[in-house]
Amino acid sequence: MQIASRAKEYDVCIVGSGAGGGMAAKVLAEGGAEVVLLEAGQWWDAAKDGAMMAWAYDSPRRGAGSRRKPFGEFDGCIGGWDLEGEPYTTAEGQRFLWWRARMLGGRTNHWGRISLRFGPHDFKGRSRDGLGDDWPIGYDDMKPYYDKLDELVGIFGTNEGLENEPDGVFLPPPAPRAYERLVKNASDKLKITCIPSRLSILTRPHNGRPACHYCGQCGRGCKTRSNFSSPSVLLPPALATGKLKIVTGAMAREVLTNDEGRATAVSYVDTATGKTEEVRAKIIVLAASACETARLLLNSKSTRHPDGLANSSGAVGRYLTDTTGTSVQGHIPALEGLPPYNDDGAGGMHVYMPWWLDNRKLDFPRGYHIEPWGGRDMPGYGFMSGIHKLTGGGYGKKLKDDYRRLYGSIVGFSGRGEMLPNRDCYCEIDPNVVDKYGIPVLRFHWKWTDGELNQARHMNETAADVIEAMGGKVVGKLPGKDKDYGLKLGGEIIHEAGTTRMGTSPRTSVLNEWCQAHDCKNLFVADSAPFVSNAHKNMTWTILALSMRTSEHIVEERRKGNL
Amino acid sequence: MTNEIGRRSALRLIGTAPIAVAFTLGANEAAEAAEKAATAVKAAAAGKPYVPKFFNPQEWKTVRILVDMIIPKDERSGSATDAGVPEFMDYLMNDPTDTDLQRERRQTAMRGGLAWINSVSEKRFGHGFAEATEAERTAILDEIAFSKDEQEDEAEMREPRDLRVMVKHGPSFFNSFRDLTASGFWSSKMGVEDLGYMGNRFVAEWKGAPPEVLAKLGLPSD
């Protein structure tokens, strides 16, 4: 167990080792700063600890999910919505699920590598439709960082010239799978935009990392580092500078401040011993995930910051959003009984449908995209579960043949949409509950509006149209209003954002345009908490680009002696 | 940062019925799991019969009969017992990292379902399911194995009127039991080979679907 020295004052202390923290560590260490990085979870190395290429039958559990691995026992992310000894609460009668990763690299061990830039519209929503708020920066401010990010990490895709789906610096995309070609044809028929997906998986060797070998198992942790995760791409060069110290098993408790209100140190619990430690730094960068960052600030009360650090606006914990999500599955008879072939491909979809309609003509304010999935996946726990919904079930020889026939013929469509922040969705400190470390926990408040519900209905109807155009049939019934149109719960898509939003006014926002706290000049946030809005585009690419921008700014300000 | 791959890996046709949740909850320590698997394999190799840890002898008999009725041996592959499905189920019932509550729910759903089937057999035929004739077993399964949807109108279910109240529990259990049997069978080496799954290997150059597949779908090869 490494303990950060109490005696030493680091230049920068970063809390969290995921996308935002990993990028900050790289840029700051390469920029000459002495950096200490606190990670609440354990050390984890995909090359040694990952389960890439394991068969389901290598385990007596056959890959079944568990409390620490809700997405299956071979999944590369240790975490979940329900962590032992780390509760959270929800307001009476409301539901919200809060995912936490507890490992080096955080949630970058857990994602679909879907790497989408926010577009010009996404930064200026209010100017376009009067809803929500504009970011204090626009796409032009972000573009150079997205470009550098593409080049650094490696991403496949195609330049399509779409106005709000900006082009990038892409490696060639992999050929679509068989079912994806049917999806594409059906989409063309329906005039739904369907283009090669944009995933941070290498289709060519890139910056010393080998190309993908198409096992389709990115989620287990790539042993060849051919996809993006913070420990695979960002932490090695940061460590190579000799200026980065990583402390795992360090659960941050509080940011300490001095009489002038400046941040001076982070106190954390050494999860191995239960003892509280302290690390001093000139600059603090929080990248603990949107809600964990908000919790840390709200728990950092002092006479200068009586409502929590950087919270004179009262906006910490507010403006909480998640991505909306639905899922519809179809049975496509054309895909039955195909000759055996390898359908694995890259770890995720090879095509997707970016938002293609105009919200001014619709009864919901913002867009969504669709992620198709299916194919002849590796059989494992849950194989064809629920077959009775499709065939009536049965047993015996006919059932056995049904499984064989239907294998690979199910295609699903996951809608992922933008919700607007609303006053009923936020987190705060629960006054009555602490976790096993004695740290007060978050209480969540969550209510959908008609906008999200109407959007979910539209997602379902679109999926049904595509399934029908593929000659297939929806499995089961489309969920109705009584089931919120199948809208996943708040937090279930694991895209929380907005809890320390940026803005030009210290009265209504927590951070300025550099993700620097209005109330505390040596405090920065580098996860998705600064997001002013949460476009339907999976947020990792924007967390990374924004953290790069913030971190380069810190390097520059340090050089000038301003911090 | 949603892990779409993880979400998809189960390829569930539908979310989860209550009893299925009881089966699918669980926790994991991979190393311990692998050790338990090795023990089962060793026992088999040594010619010793597997001694179930959860199922009592009567339940064990019933489980072995049921899984083979669900997935029998045919010309292409062996049966569910050939693929080790009962051992897989026995393992899951005592998954070492389940919470106590999860384990209790899982065990109750399984034990209760088997007891339910047994009680129907006793009531109708005067003996338990394991002692029943093939015709008697088939009669019971025919009544509970063909429901399309446990929430569906009961008029669509093919059970005799006098059994209706009881039999409503049958399809729920059987659907979960069928799903668990399928998980165990198709994820086994035998099942994977039967399905012709060709992946989980290094591919030097990804070319998409092969020409014979595209031809069958009426798609041009690029």
pLDDT tens for residues A394-442? 999 999 999 999 999 999 999 999 999 999 999 999 999 999 999 999 9
Within the 253-312 window of chain A, which residues sit less than 8 Å (CB to CB) from chain B?
Answer: none
In a shared domain, residues A539 and A516: yes
Residue A58 in any domain: the answer is no
- pLDDT at B26 > cutoff 60: no
Mean pLDDT of B78-97: 94
| Tens of pLDDT, residues B96-123 | 878 888 889 889 999 999 999 999 999 9
Domain containing A17 — which CATH number? 3.50.50.60
In a shared domain, residues A355 and A293: no
Domain containing A365 — which CATH number? 3.30.410
Overall number of domains in chain A: 2
Residue B210 to residue A341, Cβ atoms within 8 A: yes
Within the 91-150 window of chain A, which residues sit less than 8 Å (CB to CB) from chain B?
Answer: 107-108, 110-112, 114
- pLDDT at B11 > cutoff 60: no
Rg (CA), chain A: 23
- For A255, the domain range is 1-51+66-156+220-323+421-446+496-563
Rounded-to-integer distance, Cα B107 and Cα B178, Å: 16
- What is the dihedral sign for C-alpha A417, A421, A425, A427? positive
What angle do the packed helices A178-190 and A450-469 form, to 10 degrees?
Answer: 110
Rounded-to-integer distance, Cα A364 and Cα A124, Å: 17
Residue A56 in any domain: the answer is no
Rounded-to-integer distance, Cα A75 and Cα A51, Å: 7
In a shared domain, residues A360 and A285: no
CA distance B203 to chain A (A): 5
Residue A206 in any domain: the answer is no
* pLDDT, mean over chain A: 96
Q: What percent of chain A has pLDDT over 90?
A: 95
B99 and chain A in contact, CB less than 8 A: yes
DSSP line for B5-49: HHHHHT--SS---HHHHHHH-----HHHHHHHHHHHHHHHHTTPP
Residue A178 to residue B213, Cβ atoms within 8 A: yes
Give the HSE-up count for residue A117: Cα atoms under 13 Å, Cβ half-sphere.
31
- What is the dihedral sign for C-alpha B191, A406, A180, A493? negative
In a shared domain, residues A309 and A375: no
- Domain finish residue from A488, A512, A547: A488
Residue A391 in any domain: the answer is yes
Q: Alpha helices, DSSP H only, in A387-494?
A: 388-391, 397-406, 450-469
In a shared domain, residues A386 and A533: no
Nearest one of A122, A80, A17, A193 to A539, comparing CA atoms: A122
Rounded-to-integer distance, Cα A343 and Cα A295, Å: 43
CA-CA distances (angstroms) from residue A326 to A44, A420, A485, B10?
Answer: 32, 17, 8, 16
In a shared domain, residues A10 and A123: yes
What angle do the packed helices B169-186 and B134-144 form, to 10 degrees?
Answer: 100
In a shared domain, residues A279 and A264: yes
Residue of chain B nearest A542, judged by CA positions = B1
In a shared domain, residues A337 and A427: no
In a shared domain, residues A226 and A372: no
In a shared domain, residues A381 and A511: no
Query: What is the DSSP code (8-state) at residue B54?
Result: S
A204 and chain B in contact, CB less than 8 A: no
Using CB atoms, which residue from A323, A377, A384 is nearest to B9?
A377
Cross-strand partners of A372? A413
Within the 391-420 window of chain A, which residues sit less than 8 Å (CB to CB) from chain B?
Answer: 392-397, 399-400, 403-404, 407, 410, 412, 414, 416
Q: Which has the minimum average pLDDT: A24-33, A388-397, B151-160?
A: B151-160
Extended beta strands in A162-243, E state:
195-196
The residue with tokens 């929430």 is: B151
**Complex ipTM:** 0.92
Token couple for A557: 């300000």
The residue with tokens 């959908």 is: A448
| Tens of pLDDT, residues A176-207 | 999 999 999 999 999 999 999 999 999 999 99
In a shared domain, residues A3 and A44: yes
Q: Which residues contact A377 (CB under 8 A, 6 or more apart)?
A: A216, A343, A344, B8, B9, B11
Residue A61 in any domain: the answer is no
How confident is the model at residue B149, as a pLDDT?
52
Residue A377 to residue B11, Cβ atoms within 8 A: yes
DSSP line for B112-168: HHHHHHHHHHHHHHSS-GGGS-HHHHHHHHHHHS--S-TTS-GGGS---GGGHHHHT
Q: Which has the minimum average pLDDT: A13-17, A68-72, A171-175, A245-249?
A: A68-72
Can you give the pTM of this predicted structure? 0.92
How confident is the model at residue B46, as a pLDDT?
65
| Tens of pLDDT, residues A500-547 | 999 999 999 999 999 999 999 999 999 999 999 999 999 999 999 999
In a shared domain, residues A377 and A482: yes
